[in-house]
Amino acid sequence: DTGVSQDPRHKITKRGQNVTFRCDPISEHNRLYWYRQTLGQGPEFLTYFQNEAQLEKSRLLSDRFSAERPKGSFSTLEIQRTEQGDSAMYLCASSSPRTGGSTDTQYFGPGTRLTVL
Amino acid sequence: AQTVTQSQPEMSVQEAETVTLSCTYDTSENNYYLFWYKQPPSRQMILVIRQEAYKQQNATENRFSVNFQKAAKSFSLKISDSQLGDTAMYFCAFMIDTNAGKSTFGDGTTLTVKP
């Protein structure tokens, strides 16, 4: 396993369009996180899953945002009716090996950079 | 709510020298974890070092070590024998415990190692 992967790496869209990002975590990890990072700032938590259950959502996650992890493996983050303020790097991370090991260390993917024109 | 503050937006150090990055946090929790992550330019974030709050001993990973002062809520990162590859954005992060899941990050310190 080569780590957390995200697709696409870059996305340019026009305001009002819908976009969907995908995250593939490290295969043995049962926790998956989404963060948003704007230029010059640290990542901000959006939501996280344990297996297929979405356990927490940030207030940052407006009703235009939805995340799923239907089979407890990969996850998707959809943004509907994008706004210019949605422009950011969207980071995915995973943790908690099912077979033991450190449960707290999060391993990050390369991110998807979204630009809304 | 937890907050993490990194008061040094930018720092620079000469190659082979030692540099210390500062981080303070605010929480009412007693059990938590602290992390330093490195984010090189246009590359993904990787874990540098982690510290469990219940451990008295400061964590060390090769050239990287922390000074964890629980009472002062301070968690600084010391990089010894700085290398050009250490040039990156460094983020301090806080997690209440493994069941809480999410991490709270500071706004980062951009470190430049000069030859």
User: Mean pLDDT, to the nearest integer, of A25-42?
Assistant: 91
Chain-chain contact of B93 with A105 (C-beta, under 8 angstroms): no
Phi, psi (degrees; rounded to nearest 5) at B84: -55, -35
Q: Would you say residue A2 has pLDDT above 90?
A: no
Per-chain mean pLDDT for chain A: 90
- Distance CA(A88)–CA(A40), nearest Å, equals 11
In this predicted structure, what is the pLDDT of residue B29? 86
The position carrying tokens 């503050």 is B5
In this predicted structure, what is the pLDDT of residue B96? 83
Chain-chain contact of A105 with B102 (C-beta, under 8 angstroms): no
- Distance CA(A43)–CA(B44), nearest Å, equals 12
Residues B92-108 have pLDDT tens digits of: 999 887 565 688 999 99
Tokens coding B74 = 């301070």
Question: Quick one: pLDDT band at residue A20, thresholds 50, 70, 90?
Answer: very high
Residue type, A18: N
User: Which residues are within 8 A (CB) of B12 and not within 5 positions of it... i.e. 6 or more apart?
Assistant: B111, B112, B113, B114
Give the closest-approach CA distance of B84 to chain A in angstroms: 21
- Distance CA(A28)–CA(A46), nearest Å, equals 22
Tokens coding A11 = 């996305």
In this predicted structure, what is the pLDDT of residue B98? 58
CB A92 within 8 A of CB A4: yes
In this predicted structure, what is the pLDDT of residue B100? 59
A104: chain B residues, CB-CB within 8 Å: 33, 50, 95, 97-98
In this predicted structure, what is the pLDDT of residue A85? 94
In chain B, what percentage of residues exceed pLDDT 90? Answer: 77
CB B60 within 8 A of CB B50: no
In this predicted structure, what is the pLDDT of residue A113? 96
Give the closest-approach CA distance of A68 to chain B in angstroms: 17
Per-chain mean pLDDT for chain B: 92
User: Mean pLDDT, to the nearest integer, of B33-61?
Assistant: 91
- Distance CA(A91)–CA(A98), nearest Å, equals 22
Residues A76-111 have pLDDT tens digits of: 999 999 999 999 999 999 987 655 555 568 899 999
Question: Quick one: pLDDT band at residue B56, thresholds 50, 70, 90?
Answer: confident
Give the closest-approach CA distance of A82 to chain B in angstroms: 24
User: Mean pLDDT, to the nearest integer, of B46-58?
Assistant: 91
Strands (DSSP E) contained in B1-115 are 3-5, 10-14, 19-21, 24-26, 33-39, 46-52, 60-61, 64-69, 74-79, 88-95, 104-105, 109-114
In this predicted structure, what is the pLDDT of residue A98? 55
In the three-class reduction of DSSP (H, G, I as helix; E, B as strand; rest coil), residue A86 is classed as helix
